[in-house]
Homo-oligomer: A and B are copies of this chain.
């Protein structure tokens, strides 16, 4: 069984107009995704932003629920946030994992668009069943930039629901993808 890690990327991503931007941290995303990661036993959840003030915001939030008033008020949040850390870039995430595990993780980009290089859930599930380190990468805003998606080891096929509508919140996409890859069937 591989160790699965997750990165929520706030740069480089697209905005509504297709411009490359830094998106803002949504603290609710950090809470929700931490709880989802904890449920599926994800090894590390990296919140990626190059902005120092936003890094500090996430750090303060984690600290509040880890050691502050929040840790007594809601212990399940404390537990959820144990594996949540902030990094300033995806390169830093990969370096950190290489340092901890002795190998570069396999990088897997996600997104709403089908690509000619897309791998299926079935294939990725098989890789997850083998030992190794897999980093699932999710974009905020209007998704990961093309340039970033071209640098990863593979791209996971998009979630198909029923019909044409494909505008899932990133929180929901993460829940569905982790469930498909990691739940005990």
Using a CB–CB cutoff of 8 Å, the interface residues on chain A facing chain B are: 28, 31-32, 35-36, 38-41, 76, 79-80, 159-163, 165-169, 171-176, 178-180, 182-184
Contact = CB atoms under 8 A, between A and B. Distances in A.
A176 B159 CA distance: 12
A179 B182 contact: no
A179 B167 contact: no
Contacts of A28: 28
A77 B184 CA distance: 33
B183 A161 contact: yes
* Max chain B C-beta neighbours (<10 A), residue from A28, A41, A172: A172
A25 to B, nearest CB: 15
A179 B159 contact: yes
A interface: dominant SS: helix
Given A38-B167, A161-B178, 4 more contacts: A35-B169, A40-B162, A80-B165, A161-B179
Contacts of A36: 168-169, 172
12 contacts: A32-B169, A32-B171, A35-B169, A39-B165, A39-B168, A40-B161, A41-B162, A161-B178, A162-B182, A171-B171, A176-B179, A179-B180
A162 B175 contact: no
Contact of A175 (B31, B163, B176): B176
